Chain A
Amino acid sequence: MPRSIKIAEKHRKVLVAPIGVTATKPFMPSHLKGLLWVDVLQRATARFHEADLFYSHRAGYTSLQTLGFWEYLDRSQPGADFSSWTEETIGELYVKYQSGSSRAAYSAIRPYKEAYDSEEWIHPASIRIAEIWSEHFRLLGAHDPGIRPAKRSKGELSVLIEALATRGLWLDMRTSGGGGYLDGTLYGMPLRPAVSADGHSNYLIGFLLDLLPYVCEYDEIVLIHDQELHSDFTLLQRIVDALGGRATRISLGRVALSGSIQSSRYGGWNGVTVSDIAKLCLNEVDVPAFRLGLRLYFISTLGISSAQSFDTRLLLRRMRHARTLIARAGESPAPDLTHLFGAYQPHHYYVDPFKLTSSILNRKQGGPSKNLLESVYL
């Protein structure tokens, strides 16, 4: 068991709240980067405080692009048994759906939303992908967010709207033929559509519905998101603060593939899925070095935001580096405190994964102990 380190302040409760990846396509390098940042941040922070993970499944599975994709699957693949399909096969249909020619009206999508709301119904294709991802997460030594929350929240929209409206954070145009907006204009942020005129709420509402019960339960909520969602999460941060919580944000840049950064809805996963990456690396190193090498590469080498494209040569170099660190770890005195305290964020309650990972690569600071590697990286 990892040794508990108490710092000279009171024990805190930290909620690590990333935007999750919806099981509709293969798990790609940008997803991998997010997963590993979250994993290291949560495990390292847990050395100081109570650090819980929060994934809003509702945000992903009630978004129009997911529900619309499910409707498209049932329309285009009637009677299909997805239990033996691959990530790539389902992902190809996702790209086809996202190309825009096969989108249905919201009236056709609404039953899928109602099924999720009433019984957390998930389409079999997404269940299949989540099963494959569970295998990935086991291999990666990372927490599996699963496809359904461990504890179901009621998620009543009216309660959320009332909480927002009483703080001036909600503008309701639904009785005037419009939608509902998250209102951050007090902070100079544009109105953000959140509920459409036909009643569909977007991923921000899903995220807030799941998060609301925890806002005041934690000393700090660390929101982790793609850079592309910067303005949405800046608004969410303000909302959490106004609701009585304390939020901070980490904005992660996506991983460029062959010089371009694009959403997985456009495909482009040939040769870079988790299975492809694992196959390449496990030819060179064992599983522990694979896990550490991935974290060295995606956290330290790529950093919070990098223009450099995913590079398998550099990745393999990190794998070999990881193998060396693990081999030497047993001989090191326990330098956990140097590394962990150095990466503990001033004025916050969490450990910065980049600082921590860069620190264990810094020879001057000494290599990581076996204890640190096992509790945070392997």
Chain B
Amino acid sequence: MISEKQLLYEARKRICTAQKALGMDSTEPSLDDQSDLKDLESSGDPRFGPLALAVIRDFAPVAFALSSLRFAQCVPEEWRNRWFGAFTRTAFLAGNPENLRERIPFHYVSEDRSFAWLGPASPQVSLTLRRLLVTFPGTAPPVLDSHYTFQVPVHDSEACSRRCDSRTIVLSTDGLTQSDYLVNLNHALTESLHLGLIEGGAHVTIRHVPFLDRSLTPFAWVRVHRDKLSPSRLRAYCAVLSSEARGP
């Protein structure tokens, strides 16, 4: 088990990093902070930040992961910083990108047309997309292998001669829906990319565990949120393992 205190600290670290990305003054958190869950939520409210839109045709984790990264690589840098500052807030819609390509100026559409991404989107385009589509239901439990590995796409502007370390990202899956899973995976990948924890050409392994625990620490990055199974508590939903971590 990871202590509540440690989880709160990790959550504060993520907020602090996001605030810095927005050019805001932010005090580095310490383990001794006395703040509670409510303080955390008020300081990390991203409701008015930029929003990316993802159109999903099928629940396909590997293809989703690759498309999420490709999108994060190709959005304008200034917008990407603001998006990161808003915790890479993304709305998931159900739809067939193939049918929408002519009408919607997506920033990225996956080769198999199963995913399309948009951000920034004008209010007009955003409204059109929301009028045509529905929220991705994703209420079914995800059917997942224990792990999968893929190579991070290399963006046109990226020099691939740099070291291509491998990385392990661990996702907690107990009690999660498909939608929850994609939310966490998207945060983990896009924020890791922004922070330089993963780079084009790197091999990333996604591992699934019921819950994250102390054996995985120290984390290079972790997403902490209210536990949907026990909302009065915090839960570490996904983490990028540091190179020293042993891994599950």
Could you list which residues of chain A lie within 8 angstroms of chain B, going by C-beta atoms? 168, 171, 173, 175-179, 181, 183, 185-186, 188-191, 193, 197
B102 CB to nearest A CB, Å: 8
Please provide the chain B residues from 85 to 104 with a CB less than 8 Å away from any CB of chain A in the complex: 94-96, 98-100, 102-103
Residue pair A185, B96 in contact (C-beta under 8 Å): yes
Residue pair B132, A177 in contact (C-beta under 8 Å): no
A189 CB to nearest B CB, Å: 8
Q: Which of A168, A171, A175, A188 contacts B59 (CB 8 A)?
A: A175
Complex Cα distance, B134 from A197, in Å, reads: 14
8 interchain residue pairs of minimum CB distance? A178-B137, A177-B139, A177-B140, A186-B99, A185-B99, A177-B137, A185-B132, A190-B132
Using an 8 Å CB-CB cutoff, how does the interface string of B212-236 with A read, 1 for contact, 0 for none?
0000000000000000000000000
Residue pair A168, B96 in contact (C-beta under 8 Å): yes
Any A CB within 8 A of the CB of B162: no
Instruction: Classify the interface of chain B: helix, strand, loop or mixed.
Output: loop
Any A CB within 8 A of the CB of B178: yes
Residue pair A191, B140 in contact (C-beta under 8 Å): no
Complex Cα distance, B136 from A176, in Å, reads: 8
Using Cβ atoms and an 8 Å threshold, which residues of chain B touch A193? 134
Any A CB within 8 A of the CB of B133: yes
Using an 8 Å CB-CB cutoff, how does the interface string of B124-138 with A read, 1 for contact, 0 for none?
000000011110111
B96 CB to nearest A CB, Å: 6
Using Cβ atoms and an 8 Å threshold, which residues of chain B touch A177? 137-140, 177-178
Using an 8 Å CB-CB cutoff, how does the interface string of B109-150 with A read, 1 for contact, 0 for none?
000000000000000000000011110111110000000000
Please provide the chain B residues from 142 to 199 with a CB less than 8 Å away from any CB of chain A in the complex: 177-179
Chain A residue at minimum C-beta to C-beta distance from B178: A176
Q: Which of B96, B100, B139 contacts A176 (CB 8 A)?
A: B139
Q: Which of A175, A181, A189, A190 contacts B140 (CB 8 A)?
A: A175
Using Cβ atoms and an 8 Å threshold, which residues of chain B touch A183? 95-96, 99
Please provide the chain B residues from 64 to 96 with a CB less than 8 Å away from any CB of chain A in the complex: 94-96
Residue pair B178, A188 in contact (C-beta under 8 Å): no
A176-B59 contact given A185-B132, A190-B132, A191-B134, CB 8 Å threshold:
yes
Complex Cα distance, B106 from A19, in Å, reads: 38
A176-B138 contact given A185-B95, A185-B99, CB 8 Å threshold:
yes
Complex Cα distance, B133 from A188, in Å, reads: 10
Complex Cα distance, B94 from A176, in Å, reads: 10
Any A CB within 8 A of the CB of B203: no
Any A CB within 8 A of the CB of B57: yes
Chain B residue at minimum C-beta to C-beta distance from A165: B96
A183 CB to nearest B CB, Å: 6
Complex Cα distance, B138 from A176, in Å, reads: 5
Residue pair A178, B139 in contact (C-beta under 8 Å): yes
Residue pair B95, A171 in contact (C-beta under 8 Å): yes
A–B pairs, 10, beta carbons within 8 Å: A175-B140, A176-B139, A178-B137, A178-B138, A183-B99, A185-B96, A186-B100, A188-B103, A191-B95, A193-B134
Using Cβ atoms and an 8 Å threshold, which residues of chain A touch B59? 175-176
Q: Which of A176, A186, A189 contacts B137 (CB 8 A)?
A: A176
Complex Cα distance, B100 from A254, in Å, reads: 34
B63 CB to nearest A CB, Å: 14
Complex Cα distance, B159 from A306, in Å, reads: 69
B25 CB to nearest A CB, Å: 42
Residue pair A178, B94 in contact (C-beta under 8 Å): yes
B225 CB to nearest A CB, Å: 21
A173-B96 contact given A185-B132, A188-B132, A197-B137, CB 8 Å threshold:
no
Complex Cα distance, B133 from A181, in Å, reads: 10
Q: Which of B94, B138, B140 contacts A171 (CB 8 A)?
A: B94
Beyond contacts A171-B57, A176-B137: 12 other A-B pairs, Cβ-Cβ < 8 A, are A171-B94, A176-B139, A177-B138, A177-B140, A177-B177, A178-B139, A183-B96, A185-B103, A185-B133, A190-B133, A193-B134, A197-B137
Chain A residue at minimum C-beta to C-beta distance from B101: A186
Using Cβ atoms and an 8 Å threshold, which residues of chain B touch A188? 103, 132
Complex Cα distance, B109 from A292, in Å, reads: 60
A280 CB to nearest B CB, Å: 47
Using Cβ atoms and an 8 Å threshold, which residues of chain B touch A178? 94, 134, 136-139
Complex Cα distance, B96 from A189, in Å, reads: 13
Chain B residue at minimum C-beta to C-beta distance from A172: B58
Q: Which of B100, B138, B139, B178 contacts A185 (CB 8 A)?
A: B100
Complex Cα distance, B133 from A189, in Å, reads: 9
Residue pair A190, B131 in contact (C-beta under 8 Å): yes
A203 CB to nearest B CB, Å: 19
Residue pair A191, B138 in contact (C-beta under 8 Å): no
B92 CB to nearest A CB, Å: 10
Chain A residue at minimum C-beta to C-beta distance from B182: A176
Complex Cα distance, B95 from A178, in Å, reads: 12
Residue pair A168, B137 in contact (C-beta under 8 Å): no
Complex Cα distance, B95 from A145, in Å, reads: 38
Using Cβ atoms and an 8 Å threshold, which residues of chain A touch B94? 171, 173, 176, 178, 181, 191
A173-B99 contact given A178-B94, A190-B131, A191-B94, CB 8 Å threshold:
no
Complex Cα distance, B103 from A168, in Å, reads: 15
Complex Cα distance, B137 from A179, in Å, reads: 9
Using Cβ atoms and an 8 Å threshold, which residues of chain A touch B138? 176-178
Residue pair B178, A168 in contact (C-beta under 8 Å): no
Using Cβ atoms and an 8 Å threshold, which residues of chain A touch B103? 185, 188
Using Cβ atoms and an 8 Å threshold, which residues of chain B touch A171? 57, 94-96
B51 CB to nearest A CB, Å: 20
Complex Cα distance, B131 from A183, in Å, reads: 13
Using Cβ atoms and an 8 Å threshold, which residues of chain A touch B95? 171, 183, 185, 191
